[in-house]
């Protein structure tokens, strides 16, 4: 078993012998237009079934709710008033002063026009949109608890389910601190009727099996961009080497802070967090909870060494106590 | 757009409805541009804009007019540009009277026909031609009695859009100018007077926009216009679909000309088209009054001879390329009728059908209701859901003998006879309907090759990805075969009227599946030399077209797309591997030019206005225009050139006439002809409005096209009794997740699950006022129908205070329809809409209407009709309501109490 917590290169940690750069997403929610093309492109490429109930979810324009076995990209819609925007600016500003890693813009990048650095007026209202996806954690709870080996770390540092190995035990579902992975229950992949008016034949694959984003592993091995990033019209979803993604993300946050938009902050870029940093990083405009993301995600297996240590200590203590008892009995 | 320093999106929800095009706005923003969204609703576009400015639907001309007024009164206009490139200095006929003089009417209005005689709008003109030309006369000259008017005569019969971008013929040589711009008859002074009352206070009063927001808008666009910077406007049907829609765009054009933003990178007005190739369907039109390339359809009695027809399009003595309309028309006729088109039969001109009036989709609709139409083809159209006044649409189809629906799915327009709303209400019974309905499955865009022409006039070739399944066929194959079969039937006919069909060139090569080669069609559209040493060679440019029958070409503006036999629409060099204007991606008409009128990107001497906005300029050494784009100007016409006053066409252009399709080479701040409802845009309230017109006693556009019928009643407007029965404004729109009437999205589970149910968007204030529960049901009632929707209560909707009272606006997406075949269905917003048309382009006013909203679901069965009738009675709505032409101050604008609503529907159009 590899390292369970703290900074590491997950590919090397998984003992891949040939070197591939770790790949990941950078989702810049500040330029997301909420078109949901990522959701559709993902389902289309991966042939995932429809899983919405075909009823309004009562959550602004969001009708698919959350990431799950059949929805591997999910766009959240959050409507906020000016008070909440001001709070977000304040909390984002504090994050910086608390020593959030700041990286100056690389020389090659042109500096945006910086004549006016006064903070913009706080708008009265805003509508946040954010495309969520599997985090492909450095220390992946799902993978570390999987008893069958169905989940594996790819040569690109991502985490993928092998459908034909998974036995549907569901341990991974509890193992993910983000609630990403789930077992597929049902759903329909086909329209009610075929184009010639004949009734459709819904076919759902992988029912009962744990399912989640593969970062389009099948495209990646052919050097293709994952479907969601390929289709994103505004480049809100960027794909590339993890290191570059984090770098780009840090630059973008610095740029927005320079414009007075201090509500911007990174999510998942801190390798000291409870999952060792995520493979998919995000630029958010408010606290993670606002988007339905855990503020301090922690992989359950991170505590395994300590737990084993404690358990070991306790066992040793018990043994010692028992030994003492016997020793005492003899005396 | 990526080059813009400021982008104003108004009348468009660009991020939601054009998400792919929106990448260029995102790009501009990344480069530091300011993005402002002016819209009744806070949408996904507003969410990513720098600022959202809420506006009352239907009041945009007041806002744009106030921007014009501000720019004029604060001397913020781009003086050198305006003086050199616009008609600011041109003098207008002495008899012209402005709407400001006549309380909302321009001179020449005929209340009987609802049309203007435009003769008084024309430019003043010197009878003997001595008045000079090209801005060389410094003072108004000539006795007005000696004056004639430039180019007004031929306009009356022909709708504005029929006459191409250049309008009706006009001779440039006789116009009068005052270069000081001081003469009260100059366009500049007329413009100043016309917009003087369009103040920030008026904006607040009429649009509900706060003075701070207006000031922000003014600052943003003026600081980002001029030599160094450019501002771009983007609009869509939020501007066009009004009873004076063309005038909305005219207002923006005036503003952009004053700011010097036309013909320059990052400037202009981007007309965002509704879906793939809508631009293409006006270039090679599916419209009743146009032939390909914006040539007009001949009118019976007016264009009886080829000579009459050509004279009505352009004078040989006017400036620019419309003067060659004879060559374009002859080439078109040669493309269609080949050897049967000869000099002796005027190139088969008489084979063209003639118009006897307006034959638009809505006139056809009323003819259907009057049992005057037997059959109807629906191709990629779902009027049962997607067209205004859905009940009228479905009832009309029930009067047909036969109906052919070619679509991807069994859309509501193919199933209304068994599961439409009128079956449910009992108005129609399936067994009584005699219409025979044929459903023919169609191939999708990925199942056939061809071009899309997008909003920037860019033709992009689409390669077939998969073969169409089963019986699905492309439109091309369908029409080719239909033509073949008809011609077979008529083969032995000796009837003269069958000649046009039998003489058509109808000989496309087909593949093994019977699919005609779409490249052969493209080649035919491009045109070729027919005689001489080059016979058979594709034309390279429309300037090669001749009026002597030696060339053919199906659409003159597309000539060049197949130059040298190469399909240029299929060019696919990635942006990063070529020049900034990306000339090797697709092909833009005309001549692969990416920015129209780009001569204006250089100053009168031919130098770029600034290094930053350099685009096309005069190169002294090479003695030609050069730059990043194909120059939109005669290549070797030097900046200082003055033409021979007797010349016509391209030879008459001066070196500083950038607007080469206009009859005088200038950008028109004032339209002396061609726009049917006024030479300057002025504000009228929509057909249905909760407020009285703050500017004039004239409430509505007097030239709008009316359908005064019992099945198309109008709600009373402010000041009329019964206006409070329908107190709220509704506006209709699209969502990213669906495609128009749903034919391409509601049958797809992946899209249906994203927006599964019909809903409305209301403010928390309106929800409180009407007792609406979040996500509960509500019924919306208009004088046409009542529909039920789920309620989204959101702060994205803002009540506006307009003329002292609060105006609540209700947002309604129009994607859902009633039927049994789609994955998701629901009531259709278009059932609420009435029919009133804009006079120039005959577009319906579907962006604003009056309604009432109440909690709960709508009644079922005949009770639904009772509910609608009960509202109508309370409002006192009759066929007269809202359908008077002229509102004179002091007269009662209410309906005539003697009118019996049960009399036969009267029609007027």
From CA A8, how far away is CA A21, in angstroms rounded? 13
Measure the CA–CA gap between A20 and A238, rounded to whole angstroms: 19
Contacting residues of B for A44, CB less than 8 Å apart = 750
Question: How large a percentage of chain A has pLDDT more than 90?
Answer: 62
CB spacing of B44 vs A31 below 8 angstroms: no
pLDDT at B144 over 80: no
In B832-861, which positions are buried (b, 16+ CB within 10 angstroms) versus exposed (e)? bbbbbbbbbbbbbbbbbbbbbbeeeebbee
Cβ contacts of B93 within 8 Å, gap of 6 or more: B119, B120, B121, B122, B123, B124, B147, B149, B185
pLDDT in tens, B183-238: 999 999 999 999 999 999 999 999 999 999 999 999 999 999 999 999 999 999 99
- Pairing of the two strands B231-235 and B269-271: parallel
Give the chain A residue nearest B790 (alpha carbons): A56
Task: Report how far apart, in Å, the C-alpha atoms of B46 and of each of A87, B10, B207, B583, B797 are.
Answer: 21, 11, 18, 32, 12
| Average pLDDT for A230-246 | 97
Q: In the prediction, which pLDDT does A196 show?
A: 60
pLDDT of residue A202: 62
Q: What is the mean pLDDT of chain B?
A: 92
| pLDDT at B53 > cutoff 50 | yes
Residue B169: what pLDDT?
58
Is-contact B130 B645, C-beta < 8 A? no
B chain contacts of residue A40, beta-carbon cutoff 8 Å: 750-751, 754
Res. B35: pLDDT tops 80 = yes
Q: What distance lies between CA A219 and its chain's CA centroid?
A: 19
Q: Which residues of B742-758 are buried (b: 16+ CB within 10 A; e: fewer)?
A: bbbbbbbbbbbbbbbbb
Question: Which residue, among A195, A233, A263, would best test binding to B if mutated, counting the most B CBs under 10 Å from its CB?
Answer: A195
Asked whether the beta carbons of A165 and A148 are under 8 A apart, the reply is: yes
Angle, nearest 10°, between helix axes B390-397 and B361-369?
60
Buried b or exposed e, range B92-113, using 16+ CB within 10 angstroms: bbeebebbbeeebbbbbbeeee
What is the band of A100 on the pLDDT scale with cuts at 50, 70, 90? Answer: very low
Contacts of A129 in chain B (CB under 8 A): 44, 47
What is the spatial distance between Cα A192 and Cα A203, in angstroms, rounded to a whole number? 12
The percent helix, strand, coil of chain B (3-state, each to 5) is 30, 15, 55
Task: Please give the model's pTM, rounded to 2 decimal places.
Answer: 0.92
With bands split at pLDDT 50, 70 and 90, how would you rate the model's confidence at B173?
low
How confident is the model at residue B16, as a pLDDT? Answer: 96
What is A10-97+121-298's CATH topology?
Alpha-Beta Plaits (3.30.70)
DSSP H or E segment with residue A175:
helix A171-175
Q: What is the pLDDT of residue A119?
A: 58
Q: What is the dihedral of CA B329, B331, B337, B338, to 10 degrees?
A: 160
More confident residue, B466 or A189: B466
- Distance of residue A29 Cα from the nearest chain B Cα, in angstroms: 10
B117 half-sphere exposure, CB direction, 13 A CA radius: 9
For A22, A136, A240, the CA distances from A215, given in Å and listed in that order, are 12, 8, 11
Nearest CB to A234: which of B26, B749, B796? B26
> What is the DSSP track for A80-130?
EEHHHHHHHHHHHHHHHHTT----PPPTTSPPPP-S--SPPPPPSEEEEEE
Q: B907: closest CA among B714, B710, B703, B699? A: B710
A32 contacts on B by Cβ (under 8 Å): 48
Predicted local distance difference test score (pLDDT) of residue B900: 40
How much is the ipTM here?
0.90
Query: Distance between alpha carbon B714 and the CA centroid of its chain, in Å?
Result: 24
**What is the mean predicted confidence (pLDDT) over B434-462?**
96
8 A C-beta contact, residue B84 and residue B656: yes
- Taking CB atoms and an 8 Å limit, are A56 and B790 in contact across chains? yes
CB B613 within 8 A of CB B229: yes
B464-480 pLDDT, tens digit each: 999 999 999 999 999 99
- Cα A253 from Cα A30, distance rounded (Å): 10
Chain A residues with beta carbon closer than 8 angstroms to that of B750:
39-40, 43-44, 50
pLDDT on residue B137 = 35
Could you give the 3-state DSSP secondary structure of residue A241? strand
Q: Alpha carbon of B373 to those of A102, B669, B843: distances in Å?
A: 72, 42, 21
- Assigned token pair, B671: 């339209």
Contacting residues of B for A127, CB less than 8 Å apart:
42, 44, 46-47, 796
Q: Which of B31, B751, B792 sits opposite A40 (nearest CB)?
A: B751
Q: Are B753 and A123 an interchain contact pair (Cβ–Cβ within 8 Å)?
A: no
Beta-carbon contacts of residue B437 (< 8 Å; ≥ 6 apart): B402, B403, B405, B414, B417
pLDDT category, B363, cuts 50, 70, 90? Answer: very high
* Distance (Å, whole) CA B1 – CA A214: 36
Helix (H, G, I), strand (E, B) or coil at A133: strand
pLDDT tier for residue B154 given thresholds of 50, 70 and 90: very low
Closest CA to A126 of A93, A89, A154: A89
pLDDT above 50 for A103: no
A216 and A205 Cβ atoms separated by less than 8 Å: no
Asked if the model's pLDDT at residue A52 lies above 90, the reply is no
Backbone angles phi, psi at B718, to 5 degrees: -50, 140
Distance from C-alpha of A159 to C-alpha of B322, rounded to nearest angstrom: 64
In angstroms, what is the C-alpha Rg of chain A? 23
The Cα–Cα gap between A219 and B840 comes to: 51
Question: How far, in Å, CA of B547 to CA of B332, rounded?
Answer: 10
Using DSSP, state whether B873 is helix, strand or coil.
Answer: helix
Domain boundaries defined on chain A? 10-97+121-298, 301-331
Beta bridge pairs of residue B789: B778
Q: Higher pLDDT residue, B156 or A233? A: A233
With CA atoms as reference, the chain A residue closest to B745 would be A191
The mean pLDDT of B397-405, rounded to a whole number, is 98
Give B249's contacts (C-beta < 8 A, 6+ positions apart): B235, B239, B240, B269, B271
Q: What share of chain A is helix, strand, coil (3-state, %, to 5)?
A: 30, 15, 50
Measured CA to CA, the distance from residue B97 to residue B105 in angstroms comes to 9
Q: Identify all chain A residues contacting B46, using CB atoms and an 8 Å cutoff.
A: 127
Is pLDDT above 50 for B145?
Answer: no
Question: Which tens digit of pLDDT belongs to each residue from B249-289?
Answer: 999 999 999 999 999 999 999 999 878 889 999 999 989 99
Residues 6+ apart with CB under 8 A from B620: none
| Token pair in block for residue A13 | 């940690």
B410/A193 CB distance under 8 A? yes
Distance CA A66, CA A64 (A): 6
- pLDDT digit string, tens, across residues A151-167: 999 999 999 999 999 99
B633-689: pLDDT as tens digits: 999 999 999 998 888 888 999 999 999 988 899 999 999 988 999 999 999 999 999
CA distances from B276 to A113, B248, B360, B540 (A): 35, 23, 21, 26
Cα A34 to Cα B262: distance, rounded to the nearest angstrom: 32
Report, as an integer, the average pLDDT of B876-891.
Answer: 84
For residue A10, the distance in angstroms to the closest alpha carbon of chain B comes to 34
Dihedral (Cα; B684, B688, B693, B697), 10-degree rounding: 90
Where does the pLDDT of residue A326 fall: very low under 50, low under 70, confident under 90, or very high at 90 and above?
confident
Cβ–Cβ below 8 Å for B47 and A127: yes
pLDDT band at A223; cut points 50, 70, 90: very high
The residues with which B785 forms a beta bridge, in sequence order, are none
| Cα–Cα distances in angstroms (integers) from residue B777 to residues B328, B405, B771, B857, in the given order | 57, 33, 11, 6
Q: What is the DSSP string of B118-183?
A: GGGGSBEE-TTSTT-STT---S--S-GGG-EESS-GGGTTS-GGGGTTT-S---GGGB-B-TTS-S
Report the candidate in A241, A264, A280 with the shortest Cα–Cα distance to residue A100.
Answer: A264
Q: What is the C-alpha separation between B729 and B762, in angstroms, rounded?
A: 11
Name which residue leads in pLDDT, A221 or A5.
A221
Tokens matching residue B538: 């594709």
Residue B317 has pLDDT above 50, yes or no: yes
User: Is residue A158 within 8 Å of residue A180, measured between CB atoms?
Assistant: no
By the 10 Å C-beta count (0-12 exposed, 13-18 middle, 19+ buried), B217 is classed as buried
Task: Yes or no: say if B240 and B842 are a contact pair by the CB < 8 Å rule.
Answer: no
Least CB–CB distance from A195: residue in B47, B472, B736 = B472
pLDDT > 90 in chain B, percent: 87
Question: Read out DSSP for B545-609?
Answer: --TTSSEE-S-GGGTTTTGGG--GGG-B--GGGS-TT-TTBSEETTTT-SSTTGGGGB-TTS-BS
Look at A33 and B47 and tell me if their CB atoms are within 8 Å: yes
Higher pLDDT, A223 or A93: A223
């Amino acid at each position: 078993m590899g390292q369970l917590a703290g900074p590491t290169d997950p590919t090397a940690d998984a003992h891949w012998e040939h070197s591939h750069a770790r790949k990941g997403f950078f989702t810049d929610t500040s330029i997301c237009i909420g078109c949901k093309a990522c959701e559709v492109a993902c389902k289309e490429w991966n042939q995932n079934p429809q899983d919405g109930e075909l009823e309004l979810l009562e959550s602004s324009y969001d009708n698919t709710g959350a990431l799950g076995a059949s929805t591997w990209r999910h766009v959240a819609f959050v409507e906020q008033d000016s008070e909440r925007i001001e709070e977000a600016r304040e909390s984002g500003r504090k994050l910086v002063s608390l020593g959030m890693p700041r990286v100056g813009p690389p020389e090659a990048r042109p500096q945006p026009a910086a004549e006016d650095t006064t903070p913009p007026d706080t708008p009265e209202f805003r509508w946040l949109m954010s495309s969520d996806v599997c985090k492909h954690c450095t220390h992946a709870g799902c993978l570390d608890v999987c008893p069958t080996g169905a989940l594996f770390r790819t040569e690109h540092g991502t985490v993928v389910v092998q459908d034909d190995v998974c036995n549907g035990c569901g341990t991974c579902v509890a193992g993910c601190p983000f609630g990403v992975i789930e077992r597929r229950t049902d759903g329909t992949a086909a329209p009610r009727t075929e184009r010639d008016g004949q009734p459709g034949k819904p076919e759902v694959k992988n029912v009962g099996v744990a399912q989640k984003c593969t970062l389009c592993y099948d495209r990646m091995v052919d050097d293709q961009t994952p479907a969601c990033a390929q289709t994103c019209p505004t480049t809100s979803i960027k794909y590339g080497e993890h290191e570059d993604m984090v770098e780009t993300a840090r630059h973008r946050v610095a740029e927005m802070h320079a414009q007075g938009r201090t509500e911007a902050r990174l999510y998942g870029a801190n390798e000291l967090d409870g999952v060792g940093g995520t493979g998919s990083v995000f630029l958010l405009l408010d606290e993670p909870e606002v988007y339905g993301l855990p503020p301090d995600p922690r992989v359950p297996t991170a505590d395994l060494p300590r737990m084993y240590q404690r358990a070991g200590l306790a066992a040793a203590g018990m043994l010692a106590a028992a030994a003492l008892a016997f020793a005492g009995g003899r005396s | 757009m990526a080059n813009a320093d400021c982008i104003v999106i108004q009348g468009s929800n660009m991020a939601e409805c054009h998400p792919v095009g929106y990448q260029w706005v995102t790009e501009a923003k990344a480069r530091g541009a300011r993005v402002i969204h002016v819209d009744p609703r806070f949408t996904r576009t507003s969410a990513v804009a720098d600022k959202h400015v809420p506006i009352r639907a239907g009041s945009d001309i007041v806002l744009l007019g106030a921007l014009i007024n501000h720019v004029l009164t604060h001397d913020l206009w781009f003086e050198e540009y305006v003086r050199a490139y616009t008609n600011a200095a041109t003098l207008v006929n002495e008899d012209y009277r402005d709407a400001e003089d006549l309380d909302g009417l321009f001179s020449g209005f005929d209340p009987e026909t609802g049309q203007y005689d435009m003769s008084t709008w024309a430019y003043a003109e010197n009878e003997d031609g001595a008045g000079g030309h090209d801005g060389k006369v410094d003072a108004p000259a000539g006795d007005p009695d000696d004056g004639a008017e430039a180019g007004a005569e031929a306009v009356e019969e022909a709708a504005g859009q029929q006459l191409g971008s250049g309008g009706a013929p006009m001779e440039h040589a006789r116009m009068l100018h005052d270069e000081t711009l001081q003469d009260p008859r100059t366009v500049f002074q007329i413009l100043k007077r016309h917009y003087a009352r369009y103040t920030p206070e008026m904006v607040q009063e009429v649009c509900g926009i706060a003075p701070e927001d207006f000031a922000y808008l003014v600052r943003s666009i003026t600081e980002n216009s001029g030599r160094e910077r450019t501002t771009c406007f983007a609009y869509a049907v939020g501007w066009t679909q009004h009873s004076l829609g063309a005038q909305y765009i005219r207002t923006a054009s005036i503003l952009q000309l004053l700011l010097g933003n036309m013909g320059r990178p990052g400037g202009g007005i981007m007309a965002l088209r509704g879906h793939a190739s809508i631009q293409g369907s006006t270039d090679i039109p599916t419209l009743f009054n146009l032939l390909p390339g914006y040539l007009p359809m001949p009118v019976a009695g007016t264009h009886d001879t080829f000579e009459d027809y050509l004279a009505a399009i352009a004078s040989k003595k006017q400036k620019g390329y419309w003067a060659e309309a004879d060559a374009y028309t002859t080439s078109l006729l040669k493309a269609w009728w080949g050897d049967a088109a000869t000099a002796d039969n005027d190139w088969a001109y008489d084979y063209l059908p003639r118009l006897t009036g307006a034959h638009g989709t809505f006139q056809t609709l009323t003819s259907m209701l009057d049992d005057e139409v037997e059959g109807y083809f629906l191709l990629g159209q779902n009027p049962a859901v997607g067209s205004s006044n859905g009940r009228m649409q479905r009832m009309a189809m029930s009067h047909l003998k036969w109906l052919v629906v070619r679509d991807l799915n069994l859309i509501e327009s193919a199933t209304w006879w068994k599961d439409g709303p009128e079956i449910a209400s009992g108005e129609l019974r399936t067994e009584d309907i005699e219409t025979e309905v044929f459903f023919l499955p169609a191939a999708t865009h990925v199942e056939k090759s061809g071009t899309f022409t997008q909003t920037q006039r860019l033709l992009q070739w689409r390669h077939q990805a998969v073969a169409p399944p089963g019986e699905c066929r492309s439109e091309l194959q369908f029409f080719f075969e239909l033509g073949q079969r008809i011609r077979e039937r008529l083969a032995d006919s000796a009837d003269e009227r069958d000649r046009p069909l039998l003489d058509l060139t109808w000989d496309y090569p087909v593949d093994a599946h019977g699919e005609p080669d779409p490249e052969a069609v493209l080649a035919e559209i491009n045109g070729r030399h027919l005689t001489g040493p080059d016979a058979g060679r594709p034309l390279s440019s429309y300037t090669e077209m001749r009026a002597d029958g030696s060339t053919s070409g199906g659409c003159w503006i597309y000539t060049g797309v197949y130059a040298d036999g190469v399909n240029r629409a299929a060019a696919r060099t990635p942006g990063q591997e070529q020049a900034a204007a990306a000339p090797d991606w697709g092909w833009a008409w005309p001549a692969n030019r990416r920015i129209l009128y780009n001569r204006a990107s250089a100053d009168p001497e031919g130098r770029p206005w600034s290094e930053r906005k350099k685009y096309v300029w005069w190169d002294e050494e090479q003695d030609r225009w050069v730059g990043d784009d194909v120059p939109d100007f005669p290549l070797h016409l030097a900046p200082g050139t003055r033409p021979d006053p007797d010349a016509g066409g391209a030879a008459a252009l001066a070196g500083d006439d950038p607007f080469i399709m206009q009859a005088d080479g200038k950008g028109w701040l004032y339209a002396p002809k061609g726009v049917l409802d006024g030479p300057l845009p002025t504000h009228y309230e929509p057909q249905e409005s909760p407020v009285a017109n703050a500017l004039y006693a004239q409430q509505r556009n007097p030239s709008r096209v009316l359908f005064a019928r019992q099945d198309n009643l109008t709600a009373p407007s402010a000041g009329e009794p019964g206006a409070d029965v329908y107190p709220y404004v509704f506006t209709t729109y699209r969502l990213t997740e669906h495609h128009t009437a749903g034919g391409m999205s509601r049958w797809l589970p992946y899209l249906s699950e994203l927006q599964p149910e019909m809903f409305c968007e209301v403010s928390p204030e309106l929800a409180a006022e009407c007792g609406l529960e979040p996500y509960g049901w509500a019924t919306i009632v208009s004088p046409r129908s009542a529909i039920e929707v789920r309620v989204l209560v959101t702060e994205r909707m803002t009540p506006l205070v307009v003329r002292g009272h609060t105006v609540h606006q209700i947002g309604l997406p129009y994607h859902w329809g009633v039927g049994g075949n789609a994955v998701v269905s629901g009531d259709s917003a278009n059932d609420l809409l009435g029919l009133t048309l804009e006079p120039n382009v005959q577009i319906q006013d579907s962006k604003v209407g009056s309604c009432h909203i109440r909690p709960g679901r709508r009644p079922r069965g005949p009770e639904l009709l009772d509910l609608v009738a009960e509202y109508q009675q309370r409002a006192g709505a009759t066929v007269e309501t809202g359908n008077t032409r002229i509102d004179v101050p002091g007269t009662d604008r209410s309906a005539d109490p003697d009118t019996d609503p049960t009399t036969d529907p009267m029609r007027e159009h």
